[in-house]
Amino acid sequence: MRRISQTKREIIRSHTITYFNLLNLVLALLVILSGQYKNMLFMGIVISNSLIGIIQELKVKKLIDSLSVLTCDHARLVREDGTIERIDSEKLQVGDILQLEAGDQLIADGTVITSRGLELNESVLTGESETIAKKEGDSLLSGSFVAAGSGTAKVLHTQSDCYARQLEKKARSKKRASSQMQDAIKKMIRIVSYAILPIGGILFYMQYYRAHESLSDSLVNTVAGVLGMIPEGLVLLTSVSFILGVGRLAKKKALVQEMEAIEALARANVLCLDKTGTITTGNLQVEKIIRLDKTPLSEIHVVIHSIVSTSHEKNATSIALENYFHSEKKLVVTGHLPFHSARKYMGISTRDNECFVLGAPDILCSEKVISDQIASYTSEGLRTLILCRCDSLEKSPALLGKTHPIALIILSDQLKEDAAEMFRFFQQQGVSVKILSGDHPSTVSAVGRQAGITDALHCVDATEMSERDFARPELIQENTVFGRVSPEQKQQIIHTLQASGNIVAMVGDGVNDVLALKDADCGIAMANGTPAARQSAHIVLLDSDFSSMKNIIKEGRTIISNIERVSALYLTKTIYSILLCILFTILGRPYPFIPIQLSLIGATAIGIPSFILTLEQDGDVTSTGFLRHVLRHSLPGALSFVLSLLIVQYSGHLLHWSDEFIHTLNLILGGSISIGVVIFVCQPMTHRRLLLCTVISVLFAGAIFLFPSFFEILPIVPLTGR
């Protein structure tokens, strides 16, 4: 469960040079010293496991590399003739001039040449979410992103010079996708790693000096005891399952940038998202203009045309305004304030000492008559902007002075055809939805109701909430729609939900979603979103289609469900192996198995079932925690296994059974109980699972019936008459 952006050499090394592989190699050398070469069969499994992992990951890497081109970093290079060319970031050179626009993430260090209200967010570097205004001559650092405005910059350091530092800083800032399985498996491996060497050493000592076994048998018994403790199959299973899942999702146009994100999304019980681009198409159009004073319509066109053309913003709203408001005339602009999601307006000042602002009505106007008029449109799911005159052009609404409303601009956004179906799916999966939008809460609530979102009527206006309110879990839990939300408030909502024990996924595509995306348990970005959003996300939807989330969640839940099921088989072996090593060391008796016998039990009761069960398409994920769920299945089987073998040892001592007879009973009981665990794990039983249990039972019985001498047990036929 690693990041998938690895070289071929790193992939091969990660599957070969591992702690458990090296330990298996040492165990194989001990078997060679014993001279009992058939007990080296386990090395064939180790080698095949490594080859399977390498081949599968190389295949997926090839697919991912071909898709990653769609989301790789690019830059807009300003040529000497003024034309702009989109080039690969790796081709940048010192001295190149870059065009910067809102949402761009800087991929090289540089200095500002021109600034048109340029504001940068450097939270990736410093942790501070407040934007910083940049003027000519100011320095720009790789990793920060443009929060507002536009401009040009000169490259000071190429990507190769600052790339390592950029990655290091991003790694500190961006939250890794959460993984219960990874944490549980790492904890289990760490405990087993610490236990193997001392237990193995003590076991050999007791076999050789207390049980008085020969050196050859002592080595083989020790290898058998240690071998059973190694859960290398579980490590391979989880790794390959996730790798194959990444490959299948890639074919469905979802680029997984962290494999853990599959599990995080599969376990998510809260999905936060923006309205635009997820519930709605994001393609806005101006429906009508409502004059609020005597300003001629032609003059309104000139003012809005001047604001939009000066701002250089390239988002859905600005494109809709640009398409609608045409004018040959243009005001002479002396000052410009770009749009920012925190202040929710933009504006210009002119040569005639006039100032105009265009943005959210509830921020710029408090007149009740106008507010009532706006409410009638927002209740229908329409968006409204207001154009106002103001005394001065300032970043804070409180400093604008008196605002005089000029006109309302009504915009519409089309609901996605599959939106209602998607939210029904989330409801069926037990995933609650939270809409975090910068639009008016009534507008968002109306759109949510149209999309069939449960409790979309429960909405709040973030501008009316205090910082303490955002930290109240009950307030966040009971509301579904949060309107007029700033980027920092989105981030705080994510934190509050996580603090309440929720696993939170966040879907976004804009610069205002970056802070929430990078702190969510699983961040999902659209490929047509801003570079900053794609870089902050754990999963990128290459077709920018929110409906593909359904496939991702189903695939993730299938992977997790299958791994949870088969992990019980591996953990059963690890638990009973540790207990047997400890108990037989205390008893001073020979270890009850040799490696070849454990290979038979492992192949029939673990290897074959785990391979078949991981291919199932069952997406029922437990909510009780990975380790607790697995222990509920594995612990009873492991204890039964150990108890039955202790009964055999005690009975053999009382009844004076031969060692060969005891070894035979050990293998039969051990294999039978292990197959019983498979049957338990396969509940509820299906025709396919019944066939699997039958096949492994026949294979186990056939092996000990046909090849008793190979497994060093008594023939079965004489045994029945004993």
CA distance 226 to 220: 10
Residue 461 DSSP SS3: strand
Alpha-carbon separation of residue 303 from 108, 312, 407 (angstroms): 36, 15, 11
Say how far residue 486 (Cα) sits from the centre of its chain. 24
- Using DSSP bridges, classify how beta strands 539-541 and 254-256 pair: parallel, antiparallel or unpaired: antiparallel
Contact (Cβ atoms closer than 8 angstroms) between residue 327 and residue 305: yes
- Find all residues with CB under 8 Å of 379, minimum gap 6, and list them: 442, 446
Task: Confirm if 559 and 249 have CB atoms less than 8 A apart.
Answer: no
Distance CA(384)–CA(377), nearest Å, equals: 8
> How big is the chain, counted in residues?
722
Helix axes 41-68, 8-16, angle to 10 degrees: 150
**Adjacent-strand bridge partners of 347:** 337, 357
Do the Cβ atoms of 337 and 119 come closer than 8 Å?
A: no
- Read off the tokens for 589: 């008796």
Compute the Cα dihedral for 99, 105, 107, 108 and give only its sign.
positive
Q: Exposed/middle/buried for 600, CB within 10 Å: 0-12, 13-18, 19+?
A: buried
Burial (0-12, 13-18, 19+ Cβ within 10 Å), 145: buried
Pair of tokens at residue 383: 């968006």
User: CA–CA separation, 690 vs 612, rounded Å?
Assistant: 12
Contact 641, 593 (CB under 8 A): no
**What does the alpha-carbon distance between residue 102 and residue 380 come to, in Å, rounded to a whole number?**
30
**Catalytic residue positions?**
274
Beta-ladder partners of 85: 77
List Cβ neighbours of 286 (8 Å cut-off, separation of 6 or more). 320, 321, 323, 324, 325, 409, 410, 411
Q: What interhelical angle do 180-205 and 260-267 show, nearest 10?
A: 120
Nearest C-alpha neighbor of 448 from the set 415, 401, 484: 415
The phi and psi torsions of 231 (rounded to 5 degrees) equal -95, 40
Where do we find the tokens 């509820």? 684
The closest alpha carbon to 279, from 431, 418, 383, belongs to: 418
Q: How far is CA 64 from CA 175, 383, 510, in A?
A: 22, 39, 24
Q: How far apart are CA 313 and CA 683, in angstroms?
A: 57
Pairing of strands 481-483, 110-121: unpaired
Do β-strands 110-121 and 139-140 pair in parallel, antiparallel, or remain unpaired? Answer: antiparallel
Nearest to 228 by CA among 707, 708, 599: 599
Cβ neighbours of 481 (radius 10 Å): 29
Strands 459-461 and 504-508, bridge-based pairing? unpaired
Rounded to whole angstroms, the maximal C-alpha distance in the chain is: 112
End-to-end CA separation in angstroms for the chain:
51
**How far is Cα 505 from Cα 433, in angstroms, rounded to an integer?**
10
232-251 vs 549-587: helix crossing angle, rounded to 10: 170
